[in-house]
Amino acid sequence: MTMIGAQLRLLAWFVIPATLLSGCAPAIRLDEAATDRPIQTSSAPPAAREDAPAPHRPPSPTPTPVPRAFALNLYQEGDFVPQYTFDWCVAASIQIMHNVIDDTGGGTWADRVQQGQLWEMARARSSNSFNGANPLGWAKVLTEVGMGPYAVVSIADYGEALRTAARAIADTGRPVGLVMWRGRHVWVMSGFTSLGDPDQFPKFSVTGIRVQDPLYPYGDQQWGPSPAPNALLTPEQLATQFVVREPRRWSSNLPTGYMLVLPVAKA
């Protein structure tokens, strides 16, 4: 018993230090802890680099312009002058065109004596076998008295003739002469309405024509009544009296077409 008790005491001394040593030592080595520790992660996206190129965005398409209703009228109350004889339509139209152009308050051209003088001027500058005033004489007088320059043009297509006249009014601020009834009469075009501004839409369409017929209120049995001063006619209404002019009755190298006495932009 004594021997056994001594052995047990000796074993207890070995056990106690081992327990103490195991209680002071860390359960995990430092290098093992660093290796096994979970890595923290973030759900936020990585910050953009300052030198990274910006994302490409295609340019927004430019909307196509839509033609809208447009109107221009140079006529003012008092500009109209009647022709005092059945022959003086060119002279009366020259007076009307002066009044439309002149906005300085310098006085209205409406005198009968003056109208006769303008008729003689236009006739002297015309080449006409019937001894009257033709579109060439009309244009020359307009230019000489300070309203020009004006030129005579003939356009085969009706729609293009209306666009040409309207564009000239918009560009120059001056009225256009219309050769009516195949050359027997003349009117003044002082304005128009259209679908589209001529400055923005080259193929704008004329929807209305402002006219001054110096023969008003008489009209003609064959061609129809004279529209009132500053009347707005549709292209269809105008076409009943504004027709193709054949230059066979007077000396001209212009082709057959719708004839205009057209304002030309000053140089």
Gap between the Cα atoms of 177 and 155, Å rounded: 14
What pLDDT, on a 0 to 100 scale, did the predictor assign at position 63? 75
Q: Is residue 232 part of a domain?
A: yes
What pLDDT, on a 0 to 100 scale, did the predictor assign at position 16? 38
Q: Is residue 38 part of a domain?
A: no
Gap between the Cα atoms of 43 and 112, Å rounded: 96
Q: Is residue 24 part of a domain?
A: no
Q: Is residue 15 part of a domain?
A: no
Are 47 and 142 contacting, i.e. CB atoms less than 8 angstroms apart? no
Q: Is residue 13 part of a domain?
A: no
Domain holding 254, by residue range, is: 72-263
What pLDDT, on a 0 to 100 scale, did the predictor assign at position 46? 52
- The radius of gyration of the chain from alpha carbons, rounded to an integer in Å, stands at 48
Gap between the Cα atoms of 122 and 141, Å rounded: 6
User: Cβ–Cβ contacts within 10 Å for residue 250, how many?
Assistant: 19
What pLDDT, on a 0 to 100 scale, did the predictor assign at position 67? 87
Q: Is residue 48 part of a domain?
A: no
Strand, helix or coil for residue 129: coil
What pLDDT, on a 0 to 100 scale, did the predictor assign at position 107? 79
Distances in whole angstroms, Cα of residue 168 to Cα of each of 6, 22, 41, 98, 248: 136, 111, 76, 16, 27
Q: How many residues does the chain have?
A: 267
- Tens-binned pLDDT, residue by residue, of the chain (267 aa): 444 444 434 334 333 344 333 443 344 443 444 444 444 444 545 555 556 566 677 776 777 788 899 999 999 999 999 999 999 999 999 999 999 999 776 679 999 999 999 999 999 998 765 678 889 999 999 999 999 899 999 999 999 999 999 999 999 999 999 999 999 999 999 999 999 999 999 989 999 999 999 999 999 999 999 999 999 999 999 999 999 987 665 657 889 999 999 999 886
Four-point Cα dihedral 87, 90, 91, 94, nearest 10:
160
**Total domains in the fold of the chain:** 1
Q: Is residue 65 part of a domain?
A: no
Q: Is residue 63 part of a domain?
A: no
Strand ranges for the chain from DSSP E:
69-73, 150-155, 176-180, 185-195, 205-212, 231-233, 258-263
**For residue 160, what is the DSSP state?**
H
Angle formed by the axes of helices 135-144 and 89-101, to 10°?
40
CATH number for the domain including 178?
Answer: 3.90.70
